[in-house]
Amino acid sequence: MPTPSSISRSEPVIAVIGGGPAGFFAAVTAKEAQPSCRVTIFEKSSRVLGKVKISGGGRCNITHDSPDPRELAAHYPRGHRELIGPFTRFGAPAAAAWFTDRGVPLRTYPDGCLFPVSNDSQTVIDCLTGEARRLDVTVRTRAEVTSVVATDAGFALTLASGATARADRVLIATGGRAVAGPLHGGYALAASCGHAITPLVPSLFTFKVDDDLLQGLAGIVVDPVRVRGVGHRGLAVQDGPLLITHWGVSGPAILQLSAWGARHFHDCGYRFLVAVDWLPQFDQHGQDEALADLATANKSKQLKAFGPWKLTRRLWVRLVERAGLNPDQRWGDLGPRQRAALSAVLKGTQLAVSGQAAFKEEFVTCGGVPLKEVDLRTMQSRLTPGLHFAGEVLDIDGVTGGFNFQSCWTTGWLAGVALTGTGSEDV
């Protein structure tokens, strides 16, 4: 097995497995750090950066306006503690500056998301592939790596075609994919080098809900709501917009809950109860008072006359019915028990989730190479010296908002510097 000190420092041969954002960022960083190193990206498909192309609805939400490493790391259900250090070394401002300096001006939107000013993910692809070309990184497409073996002389790689290659250092940046069955792709390569793989399940999904309450209401957005998984203790509540869809519920609040609860929800077969607080601006007492005030001010009006607190009338009527009340009833006729029933529904409508569905096909993977098996200063394996990891193959995933690419830029950069062996162990 090679040790970092036994590897030739003058012209190290570096194999990057995976032509996604993490692999490209690492390859370019390595070449910039040490131009004499020889870097080859092995990509199994016919084109590189495929996910970047379709990301952010074709616009590529490249990172998030979150300069504080702790605050940034808090957006990662897997990695929120471990990423603070890496983000301190190469965080969101560094990533944004990297692209801006290389001709990709970015725009920050009010929700904190950064996109290229061009609003076209191709700009990001052109930047990364252009940098790789300029720095003389070799890119081999249709080159699936099927085995990586540590030898006395570095690493021996075998490709699906049967071809072989040798490298002093190897980066596995093969991305994520939660599919049932035996380990595949980069996970299998990592496992063959001694790594355990934290079980893989999807994250970032919408909830299928078949409930009369939502029938015919698709398209309605309630902002904000507070959602929580009923009976999933230890799972934080999530605040944000909720979108009613044709098949259930979606929107940032739901996606965040899906990410933080990815493993819980998988383990219960995606059958669980979610409670929606439609008026999180009130605590229970405040809401009771507000309902009493509303009843006093609108005595002669029917409940169905208007939707209070920005709730659309159609949704409001459904909530009234869910509370067992008649929408034709007048506010002034509501007794304390009826008000309490309405209040209970507004504070915690329970919806039975019966499955999950992709959010614009934007699944990310929860699980992967455990972070405790990786030195997060260099992204080097603690088990196989000279082997590094970056991107979604690691047990890291973020919520939506540019966080998943940011972890690729960060881990790719750290790995890229370290892969050259130019004092990288001190990074």
**Residue in 36, 45, 161, 296 binding ligand FAD, rule: CB under 6 A:** 45
The mark string for 61-80 relative to ligand FAD (x by CB under 6 A, - otherwise) is: x-------------------
> Does 50 help bind ligand FAD (rule: CB under 6 A)?
yes
Number of residues that bind ligand FAD (CB under 6 A): 37
For tokens 């370290």, what's the residue? 418
> Does 408 help bind ligand FAD (rule: CB under 6 A)?
yes
For tokens 């952010």, what's the residue? 56
> Does 138 help bind ligand FAD (rule: CB under 6 A)?
no
Toward ligand FAD, which CB reaches closer, 175 or 229? Answer: 175
The mark string for 175-204 relative to ligand FAD (x by CB under 6 A, - otherwise) is: x---------xx------------------
Whole-number Å distance between alpha carbons of 207 and 223: 17
Toward ligand FAD, which CB reaches closer, 112 or 308? Answer: 112
- Segment lying near ligand FAD (by CB under 6 A), choices 42-50, 161-169, 256-264, 319-327: 42-50
- Segment lying near ligand FAD (by CB under 6 A), choices 14-22, 222-230, 277-285, 308-316: 14-22
Toward ligand FAD, which CB reaches closer, 12 or 185? Answer: 185
**Residue in 12, 18, 91, 367 binding ligand FAD, rule: CB under 6 A:** 18
> Does 120 help bind ligand FAD (rule: CB under 6 A)?
no
Toward ligand FAD, which CB reaches closer, 229 or 416? Answer: 416
Residue type, 328: D
Whole-number Å distance between alpha carbons of 99 and 61: 13
Whole-number Å distance between alpha carbons of 179 and 182: 9
Whole-number Å distance between alpha carbons of 206 and 255: 6
Whole-number Å distance between alpha carbons of 373 and 385: 11
Please say whether the beta carbons of 11 and 108 come within 8 A: no
| Residues 6+ positions from 212 with CB-CB distance below 8 Å | 318
Q: How far is the CB of 223 from ligand FAD (least distance, A)?
A: 21
Q: How far is the CB of 280 from ligand FAD (least distance, A)?
A: 27
Please say whether the beta carbons of 72 and 396 come within 8 A: no
Q: How far is the CB of 57 from ligand FAD (least distance, A)?
A: 8
User: Degrees (nearest 5) of the Cα angle 347, 215, 364?
Assistant: 75
Whole-number Å distance between alpha carbons of 140 and 123: 21
> Does 145 help bind ligand FAD (rule: CB under 6 A)?
yes
- Segment lying near ligand FAD (by CB under 6 A), choices 49-57, 99-107, 275-283, 327-335: 49-57
> Does 19 help bind ligand FAD (rule: CB under 6 A)?
yes
3-state secondary structure of 5: helix
Residue type, 8: S
Toward ligand FAD, which CB reaches closer, 22 or 132? Answer: 22
Strands 138-140 and 154-159: unpaired
Toward ligand FAD, which CB reaches closer, 174 or 378? Answer: 174
User: What helix, strand, coil percent values describe the chain, rounded to 5?
Assistant: 35, 25, 40
Tokens of 336: 């304390």
> Does 144 help bind ligand FAD (rule: CB under 6 A)?
yes
**Residue in 154, 391, 416, 421 binding ligand FAD, rule: CB under 6 A:** 391
Toward ligand FAD, which CB reaches closer, 45 or 296? Answer: 45
Toward ligand FAD, which CB reaches closer, 173 or 222? Answer: 173
> Does 23 help bind ligand FAD (rule: CB under 6 A)?
yes
> Does 54 help bind ligand FAD (rule: CB under 6 A)?
yes
The mark string for 353-372 relative to ligand FAD (x by CB under 6 A, - otherwise) is: -------xxxxx--------
- Segment lying near ligand FAD (by CB under 6 A), choices 8-16, 56-64, 91-99, 311-319: 56-64
Please say whether the beta carbons of 335 and 326 come within 8 A: no
**Residue in 56, 91, 261, 367 binding ligand FAD, rule: CB under 6 A:** 56
- Which H helix or E strand runs over 317? helix 313-322
Whole-number Å distance between alpha carbons of 250 and 329: 32
* 272 φ/ψ angles, rounded to the nearest 5 degrees: -160, 170
For tokens 């495929």, what's the residue? 50
Strands 169-172 and 13-17: parallel
User: Degrees (nearest 5) of the Cα angle 422, 173, 45?
Assistant: 130
Instruction: Kindly list the residues in this chain that would bind ligand FAD in the complex (CB under 6 A).
Output: 17-23, 42-45, 50-51, 54-56, 60-61, 144-145, 173-175, 185-186, 360-364, 391-392, 402-405, 408
